[in-house]
A and B are shown apart, each in its own frame.
Chain A
Amino acid sequence: MSGGYRQQPGASRGTTRKDGKRVAGKQKFPPPGSGGSHPNMAPRDLDWIPESVGGNEPQPAGSHIHDRYRTGTSVGKPRALVDSHAKVTGQAWYGDDVRLPNEIIGKILRSPHHYAKIKSIDTSKVEALPGVLAVATGQDAPNTFGVLPVTKDEHAMAVEKVRHVGDLVACVAAIDEATAMEALNLFEIEWEVLEPVFDPKKGLEDQDEPIHWRGKYHVGKTNVQKRVFQEFGDRSLVEEPSASSHGKWRMEGVHHGFTEPHAVVAHWDPNGRLQLYTPQQVPHYAHRALSTVLEVPMHQINVIRTFVGGGFGGKSDPFPHEMCAAILARKAGRPVRINFSREEVYWINRGRHPSHIEVKMTADEDARISGFDIDALIDGGGFASFGHVTSYYNGVLATAPYELGSFHYTGARVWTNKPASGAMRGHGAVNTRCAVEVGLDEMAEQLEVDPIDLRLANLLPPHSRTISGFRITSNGMREALERVRKGSNWDQKFRQMPLGKGIGIGCGFFISGSGLPIHWDPNRFPHATVHMQIDMDGGVTVHTGAADIGQGSTTAVAQVVSEVLALPIEMIHVRSHESDTSPVDLGSYSSRVTFMNANAAIRAALDIREKLLNAAWEMIGYHPDVLVLNDRRIYYKHDPAVGVSYLEALHKAQEDKGSLIASGAYRSPPMGGVHKGAAAGLAPAYSFSAYVAEVDVDVETGLISCTDVWAAHDCGKALNPLAVEGQIIGSCHMGLGQVLSEKMVYGRTGHLQNPNLLEYKIPSIHEMPNVTPIIVESSDPEGPFGAKEAGEGPLLPILPAVVNAVYDAIGVRIRELPLTPDVVWKAVSAKTKSLDGIDSTDLPAPRLTHGPLQATLVERGNEHKARDKKRQRSEDTSAYVNGVLFGFDPERPMEDQVEGWRTAVEPNPEQLAELGLAGKAWLKQEQRQMGGEQ
C-alpha cells in the first residue's frame, strides 16, 4: 500500500470512547474517496500552500484572503487546459462542426456599394429558383440592435441603406451552397448611391447624409459617433518643461485574425424554441439581441456556444448573420447554417480602430511627468459596436502606471463607410499606450537618463488612486520592470549596440474586468454568477456562462473549485455552452472572466465546502475550524487519521436534501469618480506589464526582425502558469503583427484591399522572436487567490518596446504603424537626406551619456521601491493619490490644495481653439443645443 495513512495499532479495541467521542488515531480507516486515478488520498502538498497558512509557498507580496481555502490541489500548478484533449484529438465542435439533420445552407447578399440607399429589392426571381427554401431582407427584421445598449445602430440586414461594401443586404437559404450562391445573383435591387466618407478627418465635417442619425444627440450633421473630453490636474505644470515629447501617430486598423471564421446554425425546435449554435464570446448579448430582432422572448431562445476558434474581441458583438440564420430557419422550417468565408470575416471586422493619435507630454526639472495631453481620432467604420467605450479607453487607460501632474484627453470616434471597428485584445488601450511609451523614451533621451529609471521613479504605488480616479490595488509594475531589465541584460545593451541592432522598453496597464456591467445596475445584479451541484457520485458540475474562447476560462473555473474542495480536477465538470443551463454572464471580454467568474466559483465552492465540513463535524465531532480538506478526505487537523472520506461527508450532507446545490456571485465594489465617463476604464483590479524587445533592422531595406522579447506581466497570481505563459507569448505574437506587418489596407477607392490571410500579413512562427515569459505575482487582494487578468494586458508593451528598439537600432523615430519595410525605408531616407545624403549604412547609432538627473532618478526609484513594498504588504495603509509625488496631501481634495486643479469633462470655450484633431469634434453642437430635433 502506498500513500495514505496507515492504521495505528489498537484499532480493534473499539473506535469510540465512553463519552461517544472518537479516539484519535484509532479509527477504522475510511474508504478512499471516489474519483481521480489514485485510490488513496495523496499527501498534503505543502509546497502549494501559502506561508501564511502554514505551507511552504513563499508570499513576497503578502498574504491573501483566500489563503485559508488553499488546499494545495490545483492553484499555481501548470496544467493543460481541461478542453485540450477535445481540441488535440479533433473532437472539439466548432461552429462549422455542428451538423443538424435536414439542415440547409444560408448565404448572405452583400452590398457592392460603399454607401447607398436601397430603393427597392425584388426577390421574385430568387424565390422562383428551384432549391431556394427561404429569402429574407431587411424588412423581415426592422428592429435595431447593438452590443452596447446606448448605441443600437445595427439591423439584421440593411433596412434603408447600406453603410459599407460587404454590408448585409438580404439572405437566402437553399438546399445546397451552390444553389444559394446562384440565388444571390438573382436579386434585383435598385440603388441610390450616396457620397461615401472614408477619411476619419472628413467624418468630423458636416455631411448631407450622415451615416447614422442620433436625433437630438447628433453632433451637428457630422459623422461623430462619440466625443470625449477629460481633463484632470493642474495645467500650469506643463508650462516651461525641462523635457517634452510631441508625437503625431498614424496607426492602421488591424483585425483579430482568429483561425475560425464565423459560423452559425439556427434551428427552431419542435416546441418552437430557437436553438442557435454560434462561436460567441458573449452569448448573452447575442441572446438579448436575438430576442429583440426576432421579437421572441428570451426564454424561448437557447444560445449554444460552440467551441470558439479564437475570438480576441472579434466574436463579442451580436452579429447580423446570427439573426439572418434564425430568420431563414424560421421561414424555411429547417435548420439553417451560415458559414463565412475569410473575406466575410473581414467585412464584419470589429478589429482595432484605425487611429490618428497625438500625444504631447512634458517632464519637469525633477523628471516628474507633469502632463499627458492625448488626442485620439478613431475610425469606427459603419457601426458603433463597442466604439463608445473605445473612445474613452484611448485616453483613460493611459492614466497609469505613472504619476501625472495633469492629464488632458480629447477623443472622437467617427463613422465612415468601412467595415465596423470594435473591440480587439487590449481594447482601446494599445495604440495610445504605444504613443505614450515612445514619448517617454524620447523624454528620457532629452533628460539624459535611462528610460527604465525614468519609469521606476515615476510609478504609482500599490493601493493608490490615479489622476482620473481609478482605484489601483496590487501593482507589480516595478518588479516587472526590474525583472526585464535584468533578464535582457539591458544595462549592457541599451544605446551600446552597433547600427541595426537595438533594444527597447515598453510598459502596459490594463483593466482586469470592466467595473460596469453594461446591461444592468451593478448594485442590483452581480457581474457573474456560478452554480454548482454535487450529486451522489461526488462529481462536481459547475454551471457558468463564462465563454471559453481558448483562453482557458473553463480551466480556471475548474481549478479554483478543485482547489477549494480539494478534489482532483477530473472531478470538476464545467458546463458553459448553453444559455438554458448557464447563469447569465457577461461573457468573455474586458479580461473579466478569471477575475469575476473564478471569484463567483470560489464563493459557490465555499458554500459547498461549508456543507461538507458541517457534515464531517457531525460525523467526527470536530469543529470545521480544526478540519482539513485534502485530496478526497476531510480530517482532524492534529491527527489526520481522524477523518471521513469526501464521499462519506458528501452523503451525510445530502441526507434529506439530495444533491448539494450552491450558487456564488461576484460583484465589484463601489469605486471610481463621479464625473461623466468615470466608469470607463474602471476595474476592480489592473494588470501591469513591462517588455524589453530586441530587434535587427536592415537599414537598407527597412526590414525589421524582432529576435528576442523578455516579457514580464503582473497577473496577480498565476492560477495556471502554463496558461499565463501561453497568453504572454500569444499576446507578443498578436502585438508584433500590429507593430510590424498587419494592416487593413483601404485603397484609393475605399475598398478593403487585403481581405485574405495572404495579403493581411500575420507573422508566422518563422517571424516569432524568442519570448521569455516572466510572471510577476503581486497577489491582488480581491482577485481569486490573488489573480488578475493575463489575456489582454500582455499585448500592450510589445508595440512600444519594438518601436523604441528600432530607434535604438537606427536612431530614427517612426510614428506610423505598422513598421512595414517601406515605412522604415522612407523614414531612414528622410534621415539620411537631413544628414547631407550620407549612406544609410553610415547612420549614427544613438548613444547615451547619463546626465545629472540619472542619479536623482535612481535614488528616487530606490526610495519608491521601499515605499511600494510596504504598501503592497499592507504594512503601510495610508492613503495615496496621484499628486503626492508633486507634494500634495493625499487626505485633502486636490482642488482645495492647488489653484488651477481642474476636473472637467467638457472643454472651456477658450480651449476650443487649441484642441487637436479629435478635439475638433467639440467645435460642433449637439442637435438639441442647436434647437434641432428635441
Chain B
Amino acid sequence: MMLMPPFELHHPKSIEEACKMASSFMELGESFDWVAGGTDLLPNYKWHINVKKHVISLAKISGTDTISMTEIGAMARLNAITESDDVHPLLSEAAAKVASSLIRNNATLGGNLCVDTRCFWFNQSEDWRRSIDWCHKEDCGTGSDCRVIPNQNTLCVATYQGDLAPSLMVLEGIIHLIGPSGSREIPAEEFFQLDGITRNVLEEGEFVLKVTFPENVSSRVGSYHKLRVRESWDFPEAGISAAWIPGDGSTLRVASTALESIPRLHLEQVAELSGEFNSNQIKSLSEAVMKSIKPVNNTTLPPRYRKAMVKVLAKRSLNQILEASE
C-alpha cells in the first residue's frame, strides 16, 4: 500500500479565482501544484515526489474543455479528443495512443503537455531514492549528483514522455498561458525549455489555458508514430510526428518526443530540403533527424536503440503523410 501524503485540494470556479488563489499562495510563500486530470501528478505524489502543501484543481472551471478544429481547452479529456470528429485527425490519433483508455478518461490535453519528465532514477518510491542517495532532479536538499550522467550537476536529463506535444508542434499549435501576471501566447515548439527540471516556460502561478491552431490547420496531413513495448498503455520510448500541407514542401514539419528532456521541432533538418518534399528525401531526412537526437539511458529501452528507431519512425511518418496526400 502506498499512502497518499496529505495536501489541501482547492477548487476555484473561474480562471480569475484560480489566478487569485495562486497569487495569494505565492505571497504567503506556500508551495502549490496545479492539477488537471491528476493521472501524472497523483502517482508521483504517492511516490512522495515533489509533494506540495496545496493542490489547485482546474476541474471545476467551466469552459476550459472546448474541442474544435482550431481550439482545444486545456481541460479537454484525452478520450474526448480521441472520439471527437471535430479535431484534427492527427490529434485524435496521438491522443488515442496515450496510456490506456481508463487513464484517457481522466487525463487532459493540458496535463499531457505539462507531464513531468521521467527517469528510472527518479520515478521511484522514497525508500528507493534514498538507497541511491537521491538524484539531481529531486535531491531533497543533499545537492545530489545526476544518476544518469554522473559528475554533472548542471542539467537534468529526465525524459519528456508526453505524446501530444510533437503533434501540436507540427500542426503549428499556439499554447495560451494565463497567470496572476496576465496571459500570453507561445508557439508549441517554444513552450518547452531545457532542462528536465525546468521543463517549460510556465512561470510560477501560470497554467495552460488552451491550444489554438491556424485557420488552415485542417488542410494539414499528419502522422504520429510511437514506439513502446506494450501497445496497451506504455509511455512512448520514442515518438515522431510529421505533417504538411500536401504539395507544399515548405509547410513540412517534423517533431520528436520521448527522446530527450524536451520534445523538439526539427526545423534545421527540414530546412535542408529547401522547400521540396518527395519520397526521395525521406531517407536522408529521417537520418538527419536521427542524428540530431541524443537520448540517454533513463527509460525502459536503451538509448542506442531508441536513437536508431527515430529513423524508422520518421520514415514511416513521412511515408504515411506522402501516401495520404496522393
Contact = CB atoms under 8 A, between A and B. Distances in A.
A261 B312 CA distance: 40
Contacts of B309: 701, 825
B131 A113 contact: yes
- Of A340, A741, A761, chain B has the most CB atoms within 10 Å of the CB of A761
A112 B134 CA distance: 11
Interface stretch (B73-81, B214-222, B225-233): B225-233
Interface residues of B, number: 29
B26 interface: no
B120 A753 contact: yes
B2 interface: yes
Given A112-B127, A763-B230, A766-B232, 17 more contacts: A96-B1, A110-B127, A112-B131, A165-B128, A166-B127, A341-B2, A343-B125, A343-B127, A741-B230, A749-B147, A754-B120, A761-B230, A761-B300, A767-B231, A821-B305, A822-B302, A822-B305
B125 A341 contact: yes
A350 B25 CA distance: 48
Interface of A: 96, 110-113, 165-166, 177-178, 181, 261, 339-341, 343, 700-702, 741, 747, 749, 751, 753-755, 758-759, 761, 763-767, 820-822, 825-826, 829
A765 B233 CA distance: 11
A207 B283 CA distance: 53
B125 A766 contact: no
Majority secondary structure of chain A interface residues (helix, strand, loop or mixed): loop
Contacts of A700: 312
Contacts of B132: 749, 751
B3 interface: yes
Contacts of A113: 131
Q: Give 6 nearest A-B pairs by CB, closest first.
A: A822-B305, A764-B232, A766-B232, A112-B131, A339-B1, A700-B312
Contacts of B229: 741, 761, 820-821
Contacts of A820: 229, 301
B294 interface: no
Interface string B98-116: 0000000000000000000
Contact of A765 (B1, B232, B301, B305): B232
A317 B147 CA distance: 35
Interface in B225-245: 227, 229-235
A829 B22 CA distance: 53
Interface in B124-155: 124-125, 127-128, 130-132, 147
Contact of B128 (A96, A343, A766): A343
A146 B309 CA distance: 47
22 contacts: A112-B127, A166-B127, A177-B3, A343-B124, A701-B227, A701-B312, A702-B305, A749-B147, A751-B128, A751-B132, A753-B120, A755-B128, A761-B229, A761-B234, A765-B232, A766-B230, A766-B232, A767-B232, A821-B301, A822-B301, A822-B305, A829-B308
Given A110-B127, A820-B301, A826-B305, A181 B120 contact: no
A154 B202 CA distance: 52
Interface string B312-323: 100000000000
A177 B232 CA distance: 34
Contacts of A754: 120, 300
Contacts of B305: 702, 821-822, 825-826
Contacts of B3: 177-178, 181
A341 B125 CA distance: 10
B127 A825 contact: no
B232 A747 contact: no
Contacts of A111: 131
A741 B232 CA distance: 13
Interface of B: 1-3, 6, 120, 124-125, 127-128, 130-132, 147, 227, 229-235, 300-302, 304-305, 308-309, 312
Contacts of B1: 96, 177, 261, 339-341
Contact of A764 (B6, B233, B308): B233
A855 B232 CA distance: 46
Contacts of B301: 820-822
A166 B131 CA distance: 9
Contacts of B120: 747, 753-754, 759
A848 B147 CA distance: 50
A749 B121 CA distance: 11
Contacts of B233: 764
Nearest to A822: B305
A368 to B, nearest CB: 41
B230 A764 contact: yes
A533 B142 CA distance: 66
Contacts of A340: 1
Nearest to A181: B3
Contacts of A755: 124-125, 128
B237 to A, nearest CB: 9
Contacts of A165: 128, 131
Nearest to B225: A701
Contacts of B232: 764-767
Contacts of A747: 120
A202 B147 CA distance: 24
B11 to A, nearest CB: 24
B300 A759 contact: yes
Given A339-B1, A341-B125, A826-B305, A112 B227 contact: no
A580 B229 CA distance: 47
A181 B6 CA distance: 13
A751 B131 contact: yes
A143 B235 CA distance: 46
A864 to B, nearest CB: 42
B308 A112 contact: no
A826 B307 CA distance: 13
A749 B128 CA distance: 12
B253 to A, nearest CB: 23
A343 B127 CA distance: 10
Contacts of A701: 227, 309, 312
A767 B234 CA distance: 12
A821 B312 CA distance: 13
- Of A111, A340, A751, A822, chain B has the most CB atoms within 10 Å of the CB of A822
Contacts of A766: 230-232
Contacts of A702: 305
Nearest to B313: A701
Contacts of B6: 178
A821 B309 CA distance: 10
Nearest to B127: A110
Contacts of A821: 227, 229, 301, 305
- Of B120, B130, B147, chain A has the most CB atoms within 10 Å of the CB of B120
B58 to A, nearest CB: 25
B155 to A, nearest CB: 19
A754 B299 CA distance: 10
A177 B300 CA distance: 32
